[in-house]
Amino acid sequence: MCLAIPLKIVEVEGQIGRVKLDATTREVGLQLLDDARPGDYVLVHAGFAIQKLDEQEAEETLRLWDEMARLELGQP
């Protein structure tokens, strides 16, 4: 099974983007996308942004991930 996580681009330098989730940032390759810009949400898999998402879809997906994590830990 493969997972792709939606992350927000905060900075672009050439073909490298810096993405952020909560307090964590990392660099990802943007070679697979033509028009990725800061502020865009992208699906990231294996170190590459593979698809852009609209903000509403990304935030709903992140909300569901958070809910699943809380349930896994037995938190309401």
Closest CA to 49 of 32, 63, 65: 32
Residue 4, both tokens? 């792709």
Number of domains in the chain: 1
Q: Which domain holds residue 40?
A: 5-72
4 forms bridges with which residues in the sheet?
A: none
pLDDT of 1 reads 64
Closest CA to 30 of 18, 22, 39: 18
pLDDT of 5 reads 87
Q: Position 6: which residue type?
A: P
pLDDT of 4 reads 85
CATH number of residue 62's parent domain: 2.30.30.140
25 forms bridges with which residues in the sheet?
A: 20
Q: What is the mean pLDDT of each run of 10 residues along the chain (76 residues)?
A: 87 97 94 96 95 94 90 82
Residue pLDDT, tens place only, 12-25: 999 999 999 889 99
pLDDT of 42 reads 97
pLDDT of 74 reads 83
